[in-house]
Amino acid sequence: MEAAEREKYMNDRQKKIIAAEAKLISKQQNEMNALKKKLEANLNERLKVRETEHNKLLKRYQNVKREIEKQHNIERNKFDKSMQGYILKNRPGTAKGGKPAGSVMGSRMGGSKMPASKPSNLAALMSPLPGMKSSGGPKSSSRGIDWDELARKMPTSKTDPVQIKRRAELWKYFDNNGNGYASLAETQKGIRDGLQLQDLFEAKPAIIRAFNFAKDAVPGKNKYGADYLEKKEFRIFLVALRQRFEYFQAFKRIDPGGDGRIDLMEFMGSRKIIEKWVGKMDDPEKEFR
């Protein structure tokens, strides 16, 4: 009798222990699931906050970038206009208050009146720099630049079907992946492989300035158009490149020190050749200052 009651007690006790253990496991499982949900909710919330902050930062960057580019364009326009005014004022054969006679390099050394934002009279850019021609020999410059070859290899005509076809073939060297855009690195590679003009390829400052000028010369709806060169801007780039290359070579002519800067002594020493480009200077030191 006592053994039966003891066995019954042990069985009931075991059942209670099992039930309590199951209840405890279930409670812990529920708490763990609730904690997981809470963690997931917190993670999702943090991801949303992070994405929002990222978008705000990106928008702020784009706004600052646009503002800097706007200010840069304003300053560039002011500089180009001031230099054009100087050329018109000091151009030989120009009467006071009258129109200038003849053609002198635009922006002090270009042969063009092309402003920073919209190109005009682009064909005028293809004339070599005044004072840089030499007579005799196969080359058109005493400094080793074959300007005739340069003009032949840079198809800039709007109407000549031969140059238009050549320009389309040349564009493939710049847009070698066929996505319709050319980065600065692709542009430099295109000059090396397509134009095959070593002096032009080595003139990195001229390439960079021509690229920056042409890459947003033709407005478009594509969001990448302002940062890359497009086919519709390719002719403008070639014309601008020729002009900037002339600037680059002219600067080298009056920078014998080769340090990328022109001091007063160098400026005065190059007075004769500068006056070939911009006309007579009554007070060169004042013009330099």
Which pLDDT score is estimated for 35?
92
For residues 254 and 267, the answer to whether their CB atoms sit within 8 Å is yes
182 membership: H or E segment, kind and range: strand 181-182
Which pLDDT score is estimated for 72?
78
- What value, to the nearest 5°, has the Cα angle with vertex 59 and ends 56 and 63? 135
CA-CA distance, 145 to 247, in Å (whole number)?
13
Which pLDDT score is estimated for 31?
92
CB contact set of 259 (below 8 Å; sequence gap of 6+):
none
Which pLDDT score is estimated for 223?
66
Which pLDDT score is estimated for 152?
85
CA-CA distance, 102 to 92, in Å (whole number)?
8
For residues 146 and 206, the answer to whether their CB atoms sit within 8 Å is no
Nearest to 179 by CA among 144, 120, 222, 235: 222
Which pLDDT score is estimated for 81?
65
Residue located via tokens 């963690």: 39
Per DSSP, the residues of 129-149 read: PTT---SSSSSS-TTS--HHH
Low-confidence ranges of the chain (pLDDT < 70): 79-143, 220-225, 257-260, 289
Per-residue DSSP letter, 223: T
- How many helices (H) and strands (E) would you count in the chain? 10, 2
Give this prediction's pTM.
0.50
Nearest to 160 by CA among 130, 187, 123, 132: 123
For residues 143 and 246, the answer to whether their CB atoms sit within 8 Å is no
Which pLDDT score is estimated for 224?
65
